[in-house]
Amino acid sequence: MTLLGDVARWFADPAHYQGSDAVQTRVLEHLEVSGLAVLVGVLLALPVGLYLGHTGRFGFIAVNVANVGRAIPSLAAIALAIPIAGTLLGAANGLGFWPTFLALIPLAIPPVLTNAYVAVRGVDGDVTEAARGMGLGEAGILRRIELPLALPLILAGIRTAAVNVVATATLGALVAFGGLGRYIVDGLALQEYDRLFAGALLVALLAIAVEVAFGTFERAAVSPGIRVQQGAL
């Protein structure tokens, strides 16, 4: 029980809210790299997933990308990202933000891609046939019919990606990035377990906060017509 007390005292210490190692700074760093990685992942994966789902072809691409993405250990991805970032952006950027950012993008892609593909494929064929028969073009069908109907699953995919990325961004501390992983890695190295646990707790809380925020957004963004339908089933 002394550990809990130590952790509480750690959080109460005003020194931990000052300077470059301040809690709020670390939280912002963590959110920044996670948010950017998810954003880029969504920009890459969502159009591809929507397109594949709409045409109904090349579904194996979506499935295989997802499987490969799940098979790569995050630690290995970060290790691989060091030389890649170094080569692409110069040796000065081989550590810190860039390798962390690059390693997190492939983590965000699989759930976004698979969910978008499955969601658009799953839209009732009668609905798209009626839309086509009334004179909506293919782009119109995708944007006005398939996208809104697939939205709940698409947002669930982005939420999964975001939670995974926020949790995994912790590893960025291993390649000299900041973020909340800093507390865990440093706490371990210095055998300051209050610091380590404070870091772990913050990461967990941040992941939960992201989950809750997305849940709220989903409820606001999804058409009431679809919620009624799901409620009726």
- For residue 107, CA distances in Å to 17, 44, 104, 205 come to 31, 12, 5, 20
Identify which of residues 5 and 137 has a Cβ nearer to other proteins in the complex: 137
- For residue 176, CA distances in Å to 14, 36, 184 come to 25, 18, 13
Radius of gyration of the chain (CA): 21
* Shortest separation between residue 137's beta carbon and other proteins, angstroms: 5
Helices (H), 90-192: 97-121, 125-133, 138-140, 147-168, 181-189
Identify which of residues 16 and 132 has a Cβ nearer to other proteins in the complex: 132
For the chain, the maximum distance between any two Cα atoms, rounded to a whole number of angstroms, is: 70
* Shortest separation between residue 125's beta carbon and other proteins, angstroms: 9
Q: What is the DSSP letter of 20?
A: T
Identify which of residues 90 and 137 has a Cβ nearer to other proteins in the complex: 137
* Shortest separation between residue 80's beta carbon and other proteins, angstroms: 42
Footprint of other proteins on this chain (CB under 8 A)?
124, 126-137, 140, 145, 148-149, 223-226, 228-229, 232
Q: What is the DSSP letter of 21?
A: T
Determine the distance from the C-alpha atom of residue 76 to the mean position of all C-alpha atoms in its chain, rounded to a whole number: 18
Identify which of residues 118 and 184 has a Cβ nearer to other proteins in the complex: 118
Identify which of residues 64 and 223 has a Cβ nearer to other proteins in the complex: 223
Q: Which residue has the tokens 């982005």?
A: 158
* Shortest separation between residue 136's beta carbon and other proteins, angstroms: 7
Identify which of residues 13 and 129 has a Cβ nearer to other proteins in the complex: 129
* Shortest separation between residue 123's beta carbon and other proteins, angstroms: 10
The pair of structure tokens assigned to 102 is 């690059």
* Shortest separation between residue 78's beta carbon and other proteins, angstroms: 40
